[in-house]
Amino acid sequence: MAIKLTENTVIGEAAISTERYRAYFRKAIEGFSPEVHCGEFQYWLNQNNGKTLKMAIESYRLSEPSKSIEERLSEERFNIIAEPDKAFILAFNREISKLGYDYGGHIGWGACWGRFMVIYSKTGVKSKQVAARIFIREDGIVLRLFFNNADKHTDYIEKAPEYIKSVFLPGKGDCNRCKGIGHRENGNCGFRKTYELGGSLIEKCAGVVFEFYQPDTVKLPDYIGLLREFYGMKAKAAI
């Protein structure tokens, strides 16, 4: 009985023909042609030996030439995104680019946060400072912003609309002293974000914090305003 190929199948772990692998990738990747980007198919397959099919697909996508966000979202795999959510991604991409951040021309695997993930990092610098991510899920999108030193911005947070202020208040993303990967012997944690707001000490976990569910274009100016506040940015002049 032939082994069923799934995204978790490990390349080279079982006796599977080259043609079956090729057929799987052609079905999974629109316009699949490793000969163009990576070399002859068998060579490319050997280079991915030991990876799952999902990891190999991600590796292939990153080797493709970068595309504009409009071109990327037109790919069949992103048909799961509702039109209002696509409109938000396009608008957010346009506004954050004015602040010197870009998505790099690729949309990758979403790991444990979603099916896909858009990552916005600083352009023109060696260290890839990430300011935002958009998690693409079957049931919608989530905008996650990255902030440090919230204590320095409490006046701005206190005056912000409720849908902005709420992510800084106790609730989702609270630290539960889990003694996970960031835990240290002295009781501190490398992933714990601590600040005071409204007279209360607040502790958040950096792994699941500052997420905005069901973002839309109406709220977009406030998301961009928050980025400018924390990163001390001024919009680039339009060219």
What digits encode the pLDDT tens for the residues 150-159?
999 999 999 9
Coil, strand or helix at 31 = coil
* pLDDT number for residue 45: 87
Summarised one tens digit per residue, pLDDT across range 124-150 is 887 778 999 999 999 999 999 999 999
117, 61 in Cβ contact below 8 A? no
pTM of the model: 0.76
Who has greater pLDDT, 37 or 69? 69
| DSSP helix, strand, coil percent of the chain (3-state; round to 5) | 40, 20, 45
> Where along the chain do its domains lie?
18-63, 69-147+210-231, 150-208
What CA–CA distance (Å, rounded) separates 83 from 89?
A: 10
**Which residue would you say has higher pLDDT here, 39 or 170?**
170
DSSP state of 85: H
